[in-house]
Amino acid sequence: MSKTAAHLEKMPGLVTWIESVLSTNKFKSKRQWAVAAGLTSQTLGRAISEQRITPEALIALADAAGADRVSAFIAAGWIRDEDIQKSRLSAQERTLISHVRKLPPAELQALVEASQSLLLRVLSLQQAPQEN
């Protein structure tokens, strides 16, 4: 038997996560975001007013916004940041990876080439003799 949002404990970090994603994303309204996620605007409204949401709805919102699912689950209180420390990726790194994965192939290739060039330059500077 799956839990419904009504049976979940309140998640104070959820509202902060929703507002943060909404303020930095392509959606002009909560309704637009909910529809893009395949949810009703009432579902998103309840998530904010009641500070509760199902895992499935949170995943749908994160995916629609291109946001990191792990960060969403941390905000909901289902995963602690220390639970994922073994991955050695910060939230910033996970977000960067999420954005990179959405790039079209040509832009991804350009980013890879620029990154490789920058890395080679940094390595050469580190190996150069230091002047006094």
Tell me which long-range contacts 122-129 makes (C-beta under 8 A, separation of at least 24). none
* pLDDT on residue 110: 92
* pLDDT on residue 2: 42
- DSSP designation for 130: P
**pLDDT over 90, % of the chain:** 20
Give the tokens for residue 18: 């929703």
Report pTM: 0.60
- Residue 10 sits at φ, ψ, to 5 deg, of -65, 145
Query: Among 97, 69, 7, which Cα is nearest to 57's?
Result: 69
Q: What confidence tier does 89 reach under pLDDT thresholds 50, 70, 90?
A: confident
Encode burial over 85-99: b for 16+ CB neighbours within 10 A, e otherwise.
eeeeeeeeebbeebe
Range 1-85: architecture per CATH: Orthogonal Bundle (1.10)
Q: How far apart are CA 61 and CA 24, in angstroms?
A: 14
